[in-house]
Amino acid sequence: MRKILTALACTSLVASSIVAATATSGGAASNATILTEETNVGQTFTNNFNPADYQSTSTQMSTNALSFEPLIIFNSLKADEWHPWLATSETLNSTGQVITFTMNPLATWSNGVPLTAQHVANEFNAMSNNASLNIFGLPTLAQPATYSGNKVTLTYATPQYSNEQAIGSVLIFPVAGDAGIPAASLITSGTVGLPNNKVIGNGPYLPTSYSGQMISYTYNTHWKLTPKPYVTGVNIPYYASNQAATQALVSHQLDWAGNDIPQITRTYVATDPAHNHYYYPAGSTVTLWFNLSPSAPHGQTSCLADPAFRKAISMAMNRKQLSQIGETGFEDPATSSSGLTPLQSAYLGPYKNDINVNGATSSQVSSFLIDAGYTLNSKGYFQVTKPKAVAATGLSAGTQCAFTIQDPVAYSDYAEDMQLISSQLKAVHINVSAQGVSTGQWNANIATHNFDAIIRWGAGGPNPYAQFENWLDDPANTGGSTNFGNYVDPQAQAALTQLAASRPGTPAFQANVNKLSAVISNNVPVAPILYGADWDVYSTTRFTGWVTEKNQYAYPGPAGNSLAYVVTKLKKS
């Protein structure tokens, strides 16, 4: 999911940035049963492992699922494939409004207390009553969750056929009222830190050691869902740069990483073809995500409040160039303005191949913006001029449109993409700047809506609902944990609710997909750019059992809800 590129030719950069990381990860590589993995570079480690906190280290490093497990594990690579986990089953009633989970009798907290149906009901009630806990973007319960024996019952006001996967994928963590859990380990808010020594989870690994350079997870002896795994621990080293992470891969200091490596066959695979491998399936849609909240830094000049201006930006981007240069050919250009992925191609309807991947010409963009009420100023950039643009932007006539794209310098492909987009848009007279920031600052700015536009991956999977919910769900429903651009549209919200209530494959489902596709295409809260890869670089030097193109049993990279599922399937090489 995280985006990391490298340039092995920059040996001086490699040498300077890898010193600390090599020193801390060398011991891990020498221990036969400790897996060393990396998902994100440049992220400052803080001692916060709160799974409901968007800015916690475990969330940003995508390691929550090592300690806090989902009820059901759904395979993002294959429709209708799932694996029982904390729950053995998930069933919907005839109306789709009542969901029942049957708990796995082997599910246990890491302090030895059985994980019960009551614990799960408590969490769903807590999320429904406290938006800061609802990092999963779930709808509010129609009535409190109930439990009886080993069964948990959730009742919603509307059917949840298309939301079944999201509900089953919730990570279970301890909340107020959970018997047998110390108060210091309860998750009471999405904004309160949880230090590693207070984590009581239900997964196979716990964060037992923390420093600014290394996080170490060790085996939870109370884990019962699988036989004792071969992997006895997981180490997460800190890497300040993409060069350091890639050098660690090449030198086998890393077993597993979420990296996009340019010329990977030559720079990684060829250095040890017997053991070095990668698998990059398309998993989500990367978009240029616009901030439509009042806190946007350049809200008084950006013109981004106008859907027509946002559409002009989408028209102008040369996605083929972004694919070939920024993503070195490993992410294809988006071809549908709906934002739907190739895995969701059956639902494209009238939005199939409606994007010109080479971008519109300057004259085409100019004609479109002039019709929308903009003209060129003396500096050669578009400005608000006519009442139509004044009304759409809320800006005064004469305001020059200008905004900034912000992304981490550590995500070298995104850094390249934002520079390319800035150049492409300036070439058609739209004034856009590129701002590189640290990974930690970027995540903090996303959480507080302190950006104009960002390049960011989206949700994935075979069901379009996850994509649309990520972009369009009213932030009031989710505590702002998914719809980072703060786009609010009652009609889109109604269509999203109706989509959740529709069975996939039915005419009603397609009709609602079309409504939401129209919102993305016409109002452009996000502009689809690329079909984002599930970056997965792995070595079989010490472990086998990885997800591969021939064995697509789970999300392949070191991230997501299936993280522990993959780790517990690894065997000695």
Q: What is the DSSP string of 484-525?
A: TT----HHHHHHHHHHHTSPTTSHHHHHHHHHHHHIIIII-S
List domains and CATH numbers for the chain.
11-69+192-279+536-572 (3.40.190.10), 293-533 (3.10.105.10)
What integer pLDDT is reported at residue 480 of this predicted model?
52
What integer pLDDT is reported at residue 17 of this predicted model?
29
What integer pLDDT is reported at residue 12 of this predicted model?
27
Six token digits for residue 22? 């090599």
| CA–CA–CA angle 35, 266, 214 (5° rounding) | 25
* Residue 199 near residue 185 (C-beta atoms within 8 A): yes
Q: Taking phi first (over 0 means left), then psi (-120 to 50 degrees means alpha), and beta for anything else, what does residue 350 get?
A: alpha
* Residue 109 near residue 225 (C-beta atoms within 8 A): no
What integer pLDDT is reported at residue 201 of this predicted model?
98
Q: Write out the chain's pLDDT in tens, 573 residues.
A: 344 332 223 322 222 222 333 334 444 455 789 999 998 888 889 999 999 998 899 999 999 999 999 999 999 888 889 999 999 999 999 999 999 999 999 999 999 999 999 999 999 999 999 988 998 888 899 999 999 999 999 999 999 998 899 999 999 999 999 999 999 999 999 999 999 999 999 999 999 999 999 999 999 999 999 999 999 999 999 988 777 888 899 999 999 998 777 778 888 999 999 999 999 988 899 999 999 998 999 999 999 999 999 999 999 999 999 999 999 899 999 999 999 999 899 999 999 999 999 999 999 999 999 999 999 999 999 999 999 999 999 999 999 999 999 999 988 889 999 999 999 999 999 999 999 999 889 989 998 999 999 999 998 878 899 899 999 988 776 655 578 999 999 999 999 999 999 988 899 999 999 999 999 999 999 999 999 988 899 999 999 999 999 999 999 999 889 999 999 999 999
- The single residue listed with the structure tokens 């009031």 is 476
What integer pLDDT is reported at residue 2 of this predicted model?
44
What integer pLDDT is reported at residue 31 of this predicted model?
77
509 CB-side CA count, 13 A: 18
Residue ranges of E strands in 244-333: 256-257, 276-278, 282-290
What integer pLDDT is reported at residue 343 of this predicted model?
86
**C-alpha–C-alpha distance, residues 375 and 368, integer Å:** 11
**C-alpha–C-alpha distance, residues 5 and 16, integer Å:** 17
For the chain, helix (H) and strand (E) counts, in that order, are 18, 22
With H, G, I as helix, E, B as strand and everything else as coil, classify residue 567.
Answer: helix
DSSP assignment letter at 306:
-
